[in-house]
Structure 1
Amino acid sequence: MEAPIGVIDSGVGGLTVAKEIMRLLPNEKIYYIGDTARCPYGPRPRHEVRNFTWQMAKALERKGIKLLVIACNTATAVALHSLQKYFSVPVIGVVNPGARAAIKNTKRHEVAVLATRGTVESGAYEEAIASLSSSTHVVPLACPTFVPLVESGEYKSSVARGIVHEGLKPLRDESFDTVILGCTHYPILQHYIEEVVGEHVTVLSSAEETAKDVQEILAQRGELAIGTPQHKFFATGSVPIFKDIAEDWLKLEQTEVARIKLTSSD
């Protein structure tokens, strides 16, 4: 089925999930919306995040998607279940795949979760991990400086390393053998995060497990594509900044990016 897969995020972070879907399913077409004008979602009230997420989802629904990925942990925590009830196509988030990845890899049942304030306060990862392993201890840490760093495009600059090291200081006295990057922006900073936690700690994102879920669902529904995809990206904020980051992260030479306006009527 040649209909696109829809991917939504508060900004550019969901590109880490899109990249893994492209790698695993190279024939699939992706339509992506990044709400860069209103990013970050982490500090926002839950009702506001839910409203923004619905706006993006309905905009992609009108473009005829066959599956929707909420590639934002904060949005997943507050809007996944309501969207699953409403939409006729499958809707998946990134929290449960992230929790699965952590449980698969932890040896000591000690997992640190790096996320936005909104995701940490939701308790979504503690709940998801507890449903898989009641014996696993979770150390949550909000990292509010990380998303703005990525969205600005400064993640390759000399200041990025210092910001990441400073943001992870609270982990110094904690015990864990696995880190789950509970925000899809954070894999773009993964090499700096690995510097801090050390080579004995496994650092994971939810992207790979999420892409596997997409593949499994589409295969079960007989909807896997066979053509040559033409991806489309939409941003509510700066198109040039989004385009630069998308081309850098996805390694695409020609990226079709358009401005999109989302309103409460969407």
Structure 2
Amino acid sequence: DAALATTTAAEIGVIATAGTVSSLAYYNALLQGNNTAKVTQLAVPEFVDVVENHDYTSVAAQQLVFDKLGYFEEHQVDTLILGCTHFPLLEPFIQAAMGPGVKLVNSGAKTINLVEQTLEQYDLRHDAAVPVDHHHDEYFTTGHVARFAELGEKWLALEQMSVKHLELVADTLIINKNTELD
């Protein structure tokens, strides 16, 4: 919705992981919102690796972003969806590679805003004064389970995370029981 509201020419790009791109989730949703939109997708799993290796401010990361997003020189867009939560960390490089005429849409931030509005609407917000026990939280990833757990435990200062692999198939989420890490 944010990309459709942002675009002026209905030429929207999506950069995401291979799983997200192959699921066609953004593609189908964009066409459902505007069936005349031109949607161009590009899988850039290398961006995830750069972020997870804490290398997202390096010259090598900048060069990688410019090289990969060179794809859009032949596939013009006026709006680009950052379809992975890792990608906003590369936003300065992405914006520079795409140029000032392309508006970036941070899908994670837009999702957080929507969740916040929904929680408010249904009076489901958590009381900040009540402590939260995160020991029973479950985490889901479309990527590598063990790697997600390793990084998540460091970033969230948790001793052990329950992580499950999530596969995106069209508009369906499938939890892969064979790759759980509890």
Tell me, yes or no, whether TM beats 0.5.
yes
Alignment of 1:63-142 (within 5 A): 100-142=1-43
Local SS of the residue matching 2:77: coil
Aligned to 2:142: none
Alignment TM-score, normalising by the size of structure 1: 0.52
State the Cα deviation string for residues 176-204 of structure 1 (Å, max 9, x = none). Answer: 11000111111110110000110111011
Superposition deviation, residue 222 in structure 1 = 1.7
Aligned to 1:39: none
Local SS of the residue matching 2:150: coil
Which one scores higher on RCO, CA 8 angstroms, separation ≥ 6? 1
Superposition deviation, residue 239 in structure 1 = 6.2
Superposition deviation, residue 225 in structure 1 = 3.0
Alignment TM-score, normalising by the size of structure 2: 0.74
Does the aligned pair in 2 maintain the 1:111–1:139 contact within 8 Å?
A: yes
Alignment of 1:114-263 (within 5 A): 114-228=15-129, 232=134, 236-238=149-151, 242-243=154-155, 256-262=157-163
5+ residue gaps, structure 2, are 140-147, 165-176
Considering only aligned residues, what root-mean-square deviation do their CA atoms show, in Å?
2.5
- TM-aligned CA distance change 1:229 to 1:154, over 3 Å: farther
Superposition deviation, residue 227 in structure 1 = 2.3
Q: Identity percentage over the alignment?
A: 30
Aligned length: 155
Take 2:131 and 2:57, find their aligned partners in 1: how far apart are those partners?
Answer: 28
- TM-aligned CA distance change 1:159 to 1:228, over 3 Å: farther
Greater strand share, 1 or 2? 2
Aligned to 2:143: none
Does the aligned pair in 2 maintain the 1:145–1:167 contact within 8 Å?
A: no
5+ residue gaps, structure 1, are 1-99, 244-254
Does the aligned pair in 1 maintain the 2:52–2:151 contact within 8 Å?
A: no
Superposition deviation, residue 121 in structure 1 = 1.5
- AA aligned to 1:134 is N
Superposition deviation, residue 125 in structure 1 = 1.2
State the Cα deviation string for residues 76-118 of structure 1 (Å, max 9, x = none). Answer: xxxxxxxxxxxxxxxxxxxxxxxx1100100011001111112
